[in-house]
Structure 1
Amino acid sequence: MSSIAWGGGGMWKEILEEQGMGMSDEDGDALLQDIVLTPEELALMTDRDEKPIYLALLGRIYDVSAGRKRYGPGGSHAFFTGRDGSRAFVTGDFTDASLTDEVSGLSVQDYRRLDEWSDFYDREYEYIGKVVWRLYDKKKKTKNAKQVERWVGEAFSAKEAEDEDGGISRDWAGIPRRLYNPGGETRCVCVRNFGPPTHRYAGVEHSEDREDLDHPQLREYEDYERLLGYQIPQYVELFDRWPEVLSGTDPEP
């Protein structure tokens, strides 16, 4: 339970009173355990009128005010605030059409990444409550929410059968790329540079013979040409040596 500062006065007092949560002191702080907001109420929580900054992921609301530089007006992640933009977290499409909690039809990789994003926000930001819409009816999960849970569960069940990075033997030599994970963390991955993409992202122009090099979370390394001499066809984990290559202390290929 935590103390959340609420600006804006009357409307928020009414919401809290309707949910049995009175104002706790003269400053307008409310002790909250689990509130529910409509999409319209959530849309107001974008740092306007000194309100906190909220976003939702899979129906769960988080206070991201601590990341005001990133999530506040003009910030790099401002488009996520005041809404549930779950689909855009994994598609890389930040238009209004993809900034939605409708997550059907994604790939198994996408459902696992959604779960990673959920873990990140649970770990790094304060959980506030639920959005009453597609995934929650008041505080209860809807059929849609239970379906999403099944998709995520099936994605993890299939994980061991997939040919993923992380020390898996390959019969092809890939291209080094930097993969940006939830929370701003990055790691080195080997990406196949031929064949059609494994899945496509709205708003991304895909080549038919680059496989996943156009993935929205992949970036080229600086001094990329020099890295081409360090393709390792057998074990992707050996690409951990790339930082040494970039720093000028080239290891043996």
Structure 2
Amino acid sequence: MIVKLFVSISLFMLIFSYILSLDSFKDWRSLVLSLFPFVKFESGILSGRLFTKNELEKFSGQDGSPVYLAILGDVFDVTSGNKHYGEGGGYHFFAGKDGTRAYVSGKFTAEGLVEDTSGLSHADLLGIVEWNNFYKKQYTFIGRLVGHFYDEAGQETAALKDFQRRLNEAKSAKSSDEDDMRRYPPCNFEYKQGQGRRIWCSTLSGGVQRSWAGYPRQYFQPGKTDPRCACVKESGAPSGSEPLSEHDNRGDLDNPLMKLYEGCHPESYECRFTE
């Protein structure tokens, strides 16, 4: 008896959620939800309707239709930006579809305008979220797209959960990179035709204000393909060491990840390379 009651209630809630997700019931949605504040509807169905890909394709701005697009499965009404997303607009290729990957790949062909985000870099994942946040601020969120990121019940798919997992990794990596930039600030760089290039360190190089300038070194950062020029602390204790630990007062100069530039004096704040 209890099982049958539970199944009946669940079925009722599913049908009820679907009915309220329809456009014809949009005006009643807020009123109905206010009468049931104790009910927790899943997956944001009631915050907008669920679109199939065929339905979304109809909203591309053709024949005077509204212009909708999707990113990460979130559907937005971008009709107010018709000059950009409508026919003839520079971003019309996004209209009527979810082209999540193209926002960072720059491939605006049929093969590039897809939902799949596999293989994208951390920077790309963060870039997609920035675009999604842009649409949330500038346009009206109207629903979800059934497919890669949401299923027919409006639930998150394994693909979206995997994206969120990789996004968290990207955020952690970004935080780690920012810490790394503060610890080993980038060098200043200058190039003059006929004279060559110059790299140097100051107490503000890399936009990082500090009490020391540092010596220029090639920094072979773990996980990176190419070295970058870093200003390496030239005195005091090595970064990350205990405050009272013994040290040689050479800062991070003995860090094995740091390499002296060829032809540069080991205790110079600048290095010059002639053409």
Task: Describe the shift of the 1:119–1:22 C-alpha distance in structure 2 as closer, same or farther (beyond 3 A).
Answer: closer
User: Contact (CA 8 Å) 1:55, 1:82: kept in 2 or not?
Assistant: yes
User: Contact (CA 8 Å) 2:189, 2:198: kept in 1 or not?
Assistant: no
How many residue pairs get aligned? The number is: 166
1:140 to 2:155 alignment: yes
Looking at structure 2, the residues matched to 79 and 143 of structure 1 have their Cα atoms a distance apart, in angstroms, of: 27
Report the TM-score, using the length of structure 1 for normalisation: 0.57
Residue in 2 that maps onto 1:251? none
Q: Secondary structure at 2:123's aligned position in 1?
A: helix
Match of 1:173 among 189, 193, 200: 189
| 1:23, distance to aligned residue in structure 2 (A) | 3.2
1:125 to 2:139 alignment: yes
| AA partner of residue 69 (structure 1) | K
User: Contact (CA 8 Å) 2:61, 2:95: kept in 1 or not?
Assistant: no
| 1:161, distance to aligned residue in structure 2 (A) | 2.2
Residue in 1 that maps onto 2:168? 153
User: Contact (CA 8 Å) 1:88, 1:100: kept in 2 or not?
Assistant: yes
Looking at structure 2, the residues matched to 66 and 231 of structure 1 have their Cα atoms a distance apart, in angstroms, of: 48
Looking at structure 2, the residues matched to 82 and 94 of structure 1 have their Cα atoms a distance apart, in angstroms, of: 14
User: Contact (CA 8 Å) 1:173, 1:233: kept in 2 or not?
Assistant: no
1:37 to 2:48 alignment: no
User: Contact (CA 8 Å) 1:59, 1:131: kept in 2 or not?
Assistant: yes
Moved over 4 A (4+): 163-168, 228-234
User: Contact (CA 8 Å) 1:135, 1:142: kept in 2 or not?
Assistant: yes
1:23 to 2:39 alignment: no
| AA partner of residue 138 (structure 2) | E
> 1:30-59: per-residue Cα shift (whole Å, max 9, x none)?
537410111111111011232210000000
Name structure 2 gaps, 5 residues minimum: 1-17, 30-46, 209-275
Name structure 1 gaps, 5 residues minimum: 1-17, 25-29, 176-224, 239-253
Residue in 1 that maps onto 2:259? none
Match of 1:108 among 112, 115, 122: 122
1:87 to 2:97 alignment: no
| AA partner of residue 100 (structure 1) | V
> 1:202-239: per-residue Cα shift (whole Å, max 9, x none)?
xxxxxxxxxxxxxxxxxxxxxxx9xx99998763449x
1:47 to 2:61 alignment: yes
Higher relative contact order, structure no. (Cα contacts within 8 Å, ≥ 6 residues apart): 1
Question: What fraction of aligned residue pairs are identical, expressed as a percent?
Answer: 33
Moved more, 155-164 or 100-109: 155-164
User: Contact (CA 8 Å) 1:166, 1:237: kept in 2 or not?
Assistant: no
Q: Secondary structure at 1:127's aligned position in 2?
A: strand
